[in-house]
Structure 1
Amino acid sequence: MTSSSPPGPSMPDPLARPSMFAERFAEALSRSHRSMSWLQHRLVSSGYRVSLSTLSYWRSGRRQPEHQESLEALGEVERLLALDPGFLRDAIGPPRRPGPPTPTIAFDDLIARPDPLVEEALSRLGLGDWTTHFTELSSHVIVEVDEHGSERAVTIRAVLRGRSPHAQRYPFFLFAGETMHGPVEFLPQTGCRVGREIKDHAQGLFVAEVILDKALGPGDTAFIEVSVILAPQRFSGYQQFVARRIAELVIMVQFHPDRLPVSIHSFQHADGHSSTLPYDRAAGTSAHLVLRAFGPGTAGLTWTWSEG
C-alpha cells in the first residue's frame, strides 16, 4: 500500500497497447496465484527496490523494465514466478522514450513520471498545480493492521505552509497498485473537510480533495489530519511518496497483538541512494521510521508473516 500527497506536474509517458512483455508478465502472475503485494515484498526482501506501482505499470503495459536496476530485478521475478530464465526479459521491446538513455533514478517512477491516471485525476479535481500553493513541512503516518493481517486504516497528520494567496485545496491519494475490493472512505479529523473524490477500485487509486478550514497566505501554516478507512485486504508493506523535500517524515505501523509479523524492514530511496535495514522486533506491537530533511523519494516499512 502506498500513500502520498501527489507529485508535481510532469509530462506523462505515452500510452500504448499491452506489449508482449506486459502480456507475459500478467499471465505468469495470474498462473502463479500470487498477488503483486507478495511479489513486491519478496523482491524487497531480496534487496531489489521495485515498488507496487512499478509492478502495476509493467503488468498494464504503461511501463517496461529499462533501467539497469529494473533489469536486474527481472531475473528475480522470473525465479519467484517459476519461469524459465529470460522468459520475461526476452519479451521487452525497444525503449519507449526517445533520446539518450535516462539515468537510473533512485526513487519510484511515480514521482519522476507520474502515472497518467494520477495526472488525469488531479486535472479532474482542478489540483494539477497544487505544488505552487503548498509546501508540506511534516507528515506523520499511522497505519493500522488488524488481527487478520489486513491494513484497515491509514491516518496522516501533516503541517502545511502556504506559498500563494488563498491556498485552501490540497490533494491526497492512496495507490494500492492492484485491484481494491470493498469501500474506501476518506474521513477528515482535524483542520479540514473532504470535498470531491475519485475512486478507481480496478486500478487501486483513490484521490481526495482536502479543503482546509481556513485559506492560507504565503508563510501561513495549518495542521490537518485525515484518515482513510479500508475494506479488509492484506498487504505486506507501506510506503510513502515524497514529491519534494520534507523537514520530517514519520511512518508508524501498529500491528494487532494477536497477529505480529515474523520480520520487519525499513527502507528509503532518495538522492541516488537506497537502503534497507532490519527492524528490532523488541519494539513490541509497532514499528516506526523517522526521517528528517528527506526527499524527493520513497520510504516505508515492509513485513513478513508466518506461513501458518
Structure 2
Amino acid sequence: MAAGRRISAQELARVVRGGSFAEVLDAAIAVRGLTLDRLRFHLGERGVDVSVATLSYWRHNKRRPERPESMRAVRVLEDVLGLPPTALITLLGPPKPRGRRVRHAGMPLEQRLHKPDEGQYAVVSAHDVFTVGSDRLERGTWSRLVLRGEHGRVTRCLVRYRADHPQFPPALTGVRFCRAGRIATEPDTGLMVAELLLDRPLGAGEHAVVEYRMAAEPGLPVDNYSRRFREPVAEYSQQIQFEGTLPKRCHSFHMSDFDVPERVVERLEVGPSDSTCFVRINLSAGVIGTRWTW
C-alpha cells in the first residue's frame, strides 16, 4: 500500500480476499485511519502490549508474528481493526521452524562474505550517533567499535544495517581507521552486511578501533533508532542528534528480540546540544534503542 493513502472499505475487502498478512494488516490500518501509536494504545486497552516498531515490522513484511504472545496480539488486532475473526491468523500459516539458523537471521546473507580461515573477534564496546534531519528523516549513523581478537588471525569485521523500509535501501557511506571491503544486500528486507578491513591483523588479546557511517535513502519520517547485539557487550552508548524541531518526548527501550514488546528503560532529556544520550555497561544480547515523539 502506498504510504499515507487511506483506502476504501471496498479495497480492504479485495485485499482481505487475496492479500498477504502484511498487505491485509496495512490495508486495515489505512481504512481505520489509525497511526501506529493509536493502534498500540487500543491494543493496550485490551491488555496487549506491542511496540510501535513491532507493528511497523509486521505491517511492512519485515518480520512475522510467531511467539504465543504475538499470536494473541494478532487476534486482538483483528478485533481492533474490525476484521473478521481469524482474517489475519489464517494468513500466517504454520510457524517457521525455530533453531540456530532462524535465531541468526543474518547468517544466510553473511555466508556470501564467508572466509573459512578467518579468526574470531569480540566487540568490546560500541558507540552510535544517529542523526535526524530537520525534515524528520534520517541522516545516517556514525558508529565506533572497539574490537578484540579472540582466536586465530582477524583481518576484518562484519557490520550490519537494516533500513526501516526496503524501498529505501541502506549504504555504507564512510569509514575511518579501516577500509571498506565487500558488501552483500537483501533488497527484499532492506538488510545490508558490509566488510570492514582492518589496518593490521589481530591476534588473540589484541585490539583495534574502526569507525563507519551507514545511511538509508531518505524515505519516511523516523521515530526510533535501535541496535541489535547477538552477544553481550561490555559497553554501549547511543546518541540521537536532532536538527531543527526537537521532539516532545524521548525514552530508551530494550527488547530481547524484535517480535516481543518493548520495555521502557528510562526517560531521556534533549540537552542544549539538541541530542540525547544513554550508556549501558555489561549489556546482554538483545535490542536496545531510543524512541521519540514529535
Q: Say whether the fold is shared (TM-score over 0.5).
A: yes
Number of the residue aligned with 2:26: 29
1:291 aligns with 2:280: yes
Taking the aligned partners of 2:181 and 2:51, their CA distance within structure 1 comes to 35
Greater relative contact order (CA < 8 Å, ≥ 6 in sequence): 1
TM-score by length of 2: 0.75
Contact 1:249–1:294 (CA under 8 A) maintained in structure 2 = yes
DSSP-derived class of the 1:59 partner: coil
1:228 aligns with 2:217: no
Task: Give the Å deviation of 1:56.
Answer: 5.1
Alpha-carbon distance change, 201 to 259 in structure 1, aligned in 2, over 3 angstroms: farther
Taking the aligned partners of 2:192 and 2:241, their CA distance within structure 1 comes to 22
TM-score by length of 1: 0.72
For residues 76-119 of structure 1, give each alpha carbon's deviation from its aligned partner in whole angstroms, at most 9, with x where no partner exists.
64467564565323544343438xxx9xxxxxxx996133xx22
Q: Out of 200, 211, 217, which is 2:203 matched to?
A: 217
Number of the residue aligned with 2:50: 48
Number of the residue aligned with 1:135: 122
Taking the aligned partners of 2:217 and 2:56, their CA distance within structure 1 comes to 23
Taking the aligned partners of 2:18 and 2:117, their CA distance within structure 1 comes to 34
1:69 aligns with 2:97: no
DSSP-derived class of the 1:218 partner: coil
Contact 2:21–2:92 (CA under 8 A) maintained in structure 1 = no
Task: Give the Å deviation of 1:275.
Answer: 2.5
For residues 47-92 of structure 1, give each alpha carbon's deviation from its aligned partner in whole angstroms, at most 9, with x where no partner exists.
42475599359837xx643323212432564467564565323544
For residues 256-286 of structure 1, give each alpha carbon's deviation from its aligned partner in whole angstroms, at most 9, with x where no partner exists.
1x22222222111349996314524453421
1:304 aligns with 2:293: yes
Alpha-carbon distance change, 300 to 43 in structure 1, aligned in 2, over 3 angstroms: farther
Question: Greater CA deviation, 142-151 or 81-90?
Answer: 81-90
Contact 2:121–2:147 (CA under 8 A) maintained in structure 1 = yes
Number of the residue aligned with 1:208: 194
Alpha-carbon distance change, 82 to 251 in structure 1, aligned in 2, over 3 angstroms: farther
Contact 1:289–1:300 (CA under 8 A) maintained in structure 2 = no
Task: Give the Å deviation of 1:299.
Answer: 0.4
Question: Greater CA deviation, 121-130 or 43-52?
Answer: 43-52
Match runs of 1:49-198 below 5 Å: 49=51, 51=53, 55=57, 59=61, 64-75=64-75, 77-78=77-78, 83-84=83-84, 86-97=86-97, 113-115=103-105, 118-126=106-114, 133-181=120-168, 184-189=171-176, 191-198=177-184
DSSP-derived class of the 1:261 partner: coil
Taking the aligned partners of 1:295 and 1:54, their CA distance within structure 2 comes to 25
Task: Give the Å deviation of 1:202.
Answer: 3.7
Alpha-carbon distance change, 54 to 218 in structure 1, aligned in 2, over 3 angstroms: farther
Task: Give the Å deviation of 1:295.
Answer: 1.6
Number of the residue aligned with 2:236: 249
Taking the aligned partners of 1:22 and 1:278, their CA distance within structure 2 comes to 39
DSSP-derived class of the 2:251 partner: strand
Identity of aligned residues (%): 26
Question: Greater CA deviation, 171-180 or 144-153?
Answer: 171-180
Taking the aligned partners of 1:178 and 1:40, their CA distance within structure 2 comes to 18
Task: Give the Å deviation of 1:229.
Answer: 3.5
Alpha-carbon distance change, 56 to 204 in structure 1, aligned in 2, over 3 angstroms: farther
DSSP-derived class of the 1:121 partner: helix
Task: Give the Å deviation of 1:41.
Answer: 9.8
Contact 2:168–2:216 (CA under 8 A) maintained in structure 1 = no
Task: Give the Å deviation of 1:296.
Answer: 1.0
Q: Which has the larger radius of gyration?
A: 2
Taking the aligned partners of 1:175 and 1:41, their CA distance within structure 2 comes to 25
Taking the aligned partners of 1:94 and 1:287, their CA distance within structure 2 comes to 42
